[in-house]
Structure 1
Amino acid sequence: MIKVSTQEFQIYCKYVYDICGINLASNQSYLIETRLAPLLKKFSCNSFTELYNQARGDRLKKIEQEIIDAITTNETYFFRDKSPFDLLQFKIIPDLIDKRSGRSGLPPSLRIWSAACSFGQEVYSLAITLRELLGNDLGKFRISIIGTDISDEAISRSSYGLYNQFEIERGLPPEKLRLYFNPVDNGWRIKDELRSLVSFRKLNLLQPFTALGKFDIILCRNVAIYFPLPDKVKLYEKIASSLVPDGYLMIGAQESLTGITSLFEPKRYLRSIFYQLKN
């Protein structure tokens, strides 16, 4: 395996941060070596410097996007951590539906955003949760679930909704597999009933995202941990502006907004913590 020099690693630290906001630690040179090694071969590069120069000279930014796809962490699985989905099913979604019902004479609406959705497991876990909670009444609600990610590969795979056996076995109970997926030659594909509830689009969280509109629920789990503090502050300020006044923010189980922002108030239900805007 080709090794990355100290100087090359410093160059890539700045480059990776500039293109996707990920802050590589000083001991993470192995990430460059392992994740970008296939790109060295693909683009016939004898060093990481050659790959960097090719990426910078590529006006279509195709190599840059492949570097983003390789570097970004796509570690996720269905119903990850489970507790947040119990929180959604038994607390947050019922409370929102009660508040939204009868407001305008129109069917109640819910807009949910999964930020940094990776390959879509969180998004489809949300769709399954809503289907099981609302049952045959699902069609009576205006449901919109949006998944965003900086990776083209992640958005493409999420939109298609195809998962291999290994991905299916990570967090998805057998009864949910039977109910909500169709077997295909190379895995399992989410049923159209659930795919119709969701949409996906490419988004860099460090860029403005007001065009997405306002949301009732935002999940931004296990992504801000890769950002330096100033970017975390900016991210949560923008998220605050994207929440409706009585909306809910959910972050990772090991994450906290303490010392980052004072715009949110933490609240607890059962074993889970969620955040709402301060009055």
Structure 2
Amino acid sequence: MTPQDIDAVCGLVYDLCGIALDNSKDYLIESRLAELMKREGCANYVEFAQHARSSLGDLKKEVINAITTRETLFFRDKSPFEALMHKAAPELVDEKSKHAYDRRIRIWSAACSTGQEPYSIAMTLMETLPDYRNWNISILATDISDDAIERASRGFYPPLETSRGLEPRYLGKYFSPQDGGHRIKDEVRALVSFEKVNLLQSFAHLGRFDIIFCRNAIIYFNPEDRKRTYLNLANQLTDNGYFFVGSSESLMDLGPRFQPQHHCRSVFYQPNRQLPDFILANKVAATKPTASAF
């Protein structure tokens, strides 16, 4: 690939879905887009990028699907789901139980890919809350890829995908064998809804959530888009809401709102949490310069 090819495709991908590729990703571009380029009869990637921009059909969607398709698995990294089970969900239920009419739990799985994460969240809640049917639980799962949303909504997974990250007891309890694979049971599927959302565009209309999972997606954004998107996501959380990001992502550079919380080997954030006055006073005191001894 020439530098012009790479620049053309990087510009196209950024404009379509906000992913910031660079010249080190030429292997990814070729592995993901070579077949599309050949099919469209383009001589090079500069021509392909121009063709995709002017296309009135589904080519733009196909480019997004090809670039954003990510490998994922059930209960990926495990520790966030343990923190959800032993920390976030119990605290959330305890707080809401103080109010007779507050029985709603809203969770957002952003950049959900083919659905393993939102279904893992649903299964975790079902394991954690024996009376989950008495709660109004809604898990919104979103992605920018039409193909990913379609696959996730079907809830069907071949043996290779159910064998990775999924405990056998979960497979027997929450899936039904079907057509050489397994389909998520209706009682799990009923907790999850799917919608196409571009994280670089406004999503304020989605409302506020008690818990947001957005893991290993924003790392592909440029620094300005990264900061803006994290802040926008934080603004969608309730006052004591929990924000889970990927294990390699740190939000401490976003300001004092983003102090990491540690539980079950997982890190999460509560950017809208109102700290007690005495804790705030101690933080202020700790930042004041001490008097010199000289």
TMscore range, shorter length: over 0.9
Matched, 1:116 2:141: no
In 2, Cα distance between the equivalents of 1:260 and 1:186?
A: 47
Q: Is the 8 A contact 2:252 2:259 kept in 1?
A: no
Q: 1:83-232 alignment to 2 at 5 Å? A: 83-103=79-99, 105-106=100-101, 108-135=103-130, 137-232=131-226
Query: Which residue number corresponds to residue 258 of structure 1?
Result: 252
Q: Is the 8 A contact 1:102 1:108 kept in 2?
A: no
Matched, 1:270 2:267: no
Which one-letter code corresponds to 1:265 in the other structure? Q
Question: How far apart are residue 19 of structure 1 and its match?
Answer: 0.9
Percent identity between the two aligned chains: 49
Q: Is the 8 A contact 1:107 1:142 kept in 2?
A: no
Which one-letter code corresponds to 1:27 in the other structure? S
Query: What do the CA deviations read for 1:32-78 (whole angstroms, capped 9, x no partner)?
Result: 11110121233333332332232122124x10110011011412110
The alignment's C-alpha RMSD in Å is 1.4
In 1, Cα distance between the equivalents of 2:271 and 2:252?
A: 14
Q: Is the 8 A contact 2:115 2:152 kept in 1?
A: yes
Helix, strand or coil: the match of 1:94? helix
Which one-letter code corresponds to 2:240 in the other structure? D
Q: Return 5+ residue gaps in structure 2 as ranges.
A: 275-294
Which one-letter code corresponds to 2:33 in the other structure? L
Query: Which residue number corresponds to residue 75 of structure 1?
Result: 71
In 2, Cα distance between the equivalents of 1:213 and 1:128?
A: 23
In 1, Cα distance between the equivalents of 2:180 and 2:205?
A: 36
In 2, Cα distance between the equivalents of 1:38 and 1:253?
A: 33
Question: How far apart are residue 159 of structure 1 and its match?
Answer: 0.6
In 2, Cα distance between the equivalents of 1:240 and 1:25?
A: 28
Question: How far apart are residue 258 of structure 1 and its match?
Answer: 2.3
Which one-letter code corresponds to 1:65 in the other structure? K
Q: State which structure, 1 or 2, has the greater radius of gyration over its C-alpha atoms.
A: 2
In 1, Cα distance between the equivalents of 2:184 and 2:265?
A: 29
Query: Which residue number corresponds to residue 24 of structure 1?
Result: 21
Paired residues in the alignment total 273
Matched, 1:236 2:258: no
In 2, Cα distance between the equivalents of 1:261 and 1:159?
A: 37
Q: Return 5+ residue gaps in structure 1 as ranges.
A: none
Query: Which residue number corresponds to residue 284 of structure 2?
Result: none
Query: What do the CA deviations read for 1:81-111 (whole angstroms, capped 9, x no partner)?
Result: 11111100011001000100141x3261110
Which one-letter code corresponds to 2:108 in the other structure? W
Q: Is the 8 A contact 1:150 1:204 kept in 2?
A: yes
Helix, strand or coil: the match of 1:143? strand
In 2, Cα distance between the equivalents of 1:261 and 1:157?
A: 37
Which shows bigger deviation, 18-27 or 211-220?
Answer: 18-27
Helix, strand or coil: the match of 1:183? strand
In 1, Cα distance between the equivalents of 2:84 and 2:176?
A: 25
Which one-letter code corresponds to 1:112 in the other structure? I
Q: Is the 8 A contact 1:83 1:272 kept in 2?
A: yes
Helix, strand or coil: the match of 1:46? coil
In 2, Cα distance between the equivalents of 1:107 and 1:255?
A: 32
